[in-house]
Amino acid sequence: MCFARELTASCRHNVLFVARIGMDGVVIDNDMVAALVEDLLKERCLSNKVSRYLKHLGLLCSPQAGSGFAVIRQRAQRKIKQLLNPPVIDRLEKILAGKSASYVLCSYQGLAKIPGFLARMRSKLSMEIIAFVHDILPIQYPEYFRPQQMDIFKAYLAQIVSVRGRFVCNSQDSCKNLQQYANSQGWVLPEVKIVCPQLMVQEAFREECDLQLMEDIAASVPYFVTLGTIEPRKNHLLLLHLWRELAQSNLEPMPHLHIVGKRGWENENIIDMLERCKVIQPYITEHNDLDDNNLFHLMQGACALLFPSFAEGLGLPLIEAQKLGVPVIASDLPVYHELELDNVTLLDPIDGKGWKDACLAEVNRSANLKIVSNG
């Protein structure tokens, strides 16, 4: 949300947004997106965020007396037809009126999934296609993704190349991996630029956190935070086995682990540990719908952010922790050396003893800091 707010503020007169709806898209002007961003920043409930999004698109109809769900659905369908008429490319052609423009793709899940869409945009609008690539992990590590993801991602990259598009990466490591894959396909890419996100802690996220979270924090000191979708690549199993070992050793004080992220895919073993391993349950809290403000408060009080991933394209949580002054214990991945972060301990993601020693060292360091501050 910080990125969205900054983009809408800094490029007010030069940016339009296109949202995919079915097999076409709708053009959304900058002011509407800016208003939507501010609404979403104020809203902490995910379902309400979805409602706000639909409301801004005009797809959320207020029920009238005597109208049921079918009537509301019909109104939304009529509104969608209005939004998609004329088609998005025709609408962009009218808006641009011959001016040059670039279409920036930040995900392979949007309009690029519509067969031939980028080719039509390139030919009809003479629009430059730019793809921001976070990583090529579905190609490098298909075992961590759903079975079809590798083929979908390969097709996406090939489509960008076929329309003579350009690539922008978020790190040197992602750029190197993309170039190696391009070479294996016989592609000659234009210069790939690297744009690493620059984060700022916004004043908007310095509000008080929710009462329930305040109680959770107070009851779980000392504690650690791990952040990311619960799926095999994030290596939650390492932490859960470590916490079981710590709990069985009767450690005092026993640290708490806050897991922030939704439950993802291919994660049966992780879920079994969370739901059936009784010895760790008093020391583990899952947060699957935590907003930025509450995450800010949770991370600030942590002994450290734990990030034992097997692979990452960048690792935004490390940058966020750095901005908050929170220590980090993370996997020793090439991209983290590139970030040149302070107060970071890098370890092999399967070195259980190393992770245990590092966590205990942070617990002791945190306790010593509190003794000094209280003294």
CA distance 194 to 134: 10
CB-neighbour burial class of residue 109 (10 A; exposed 0-12, middle 13-18, buried 19+): exposed
**DSSP code of residue 310:** S
- State how beta strands 102-105 and 24-29 pair: unpaired
- Encoded amino acid at 212, one letter: Q
Q: How far is CA 375 from CA 82, 189, 325, 326, 366, in A?
A: 67, 60, 22, 22, 14
Domain assignment of residue 264, yes or no? yes
Q: How many whole angstroms from its chain centre is CA 257?
A: 21
Between CA 247 and CA 337 the distance in angstroms is 32
Is the pTM value of this prediction over 0.85?
Answer: no
Is residue 13 included in any domain, yes or no? yes
- Report yes or no on 201 lying in a domain: no
**224 and 188 housed in the same domain:** no
- Kindly tell me if the per-residue pLDDT of 51 is higher than 50: yes
Distance CA 219, CA 127 (A): 55
pLDDT value for 66: 45
Q: Give 163's pLDDT tier (boundaries 50, 70, 90).
A: very high
Considering the domain architecture, whether residues 80 and 165 belong to the same structural domain is answered as no
Residue-wise pLDDT tens digits, 58-74: 544 444 444 454 554 55
Average pLDDT along the chain: 83
As a whole-number percent, the residues of the chain with pLDDT over 90 amount to 47
Q: Are residues 222 and 269 in the same domain?
A: yes
Domain co-membership, 353 together with 249: yes
- Which CATH number characterizes residue 350's domain? 3.40.50.2000
Does residue 87 sit in the same domain as residue 112? no
C-alpha distances in angstroms, 156 versus 162, 219, 316?
10, 47, 23
pLDDT digits (tens, 9 = 90+) for 322-350: 988 999 999 999 999 998 888 999 999 99
Q: Does a structural domain hold residue 40?
A: yes
First-last CA distance in the chain: 39
Residue 120's domain comprises: 100-196
Count: domains in the chain? 3
Please check whether residues 181 and 214 belong to one and the same domain: no
**pLDDT over threshold 70, residue 276:** yes
Whether residue 284 sits in one domain with residue 221: yes
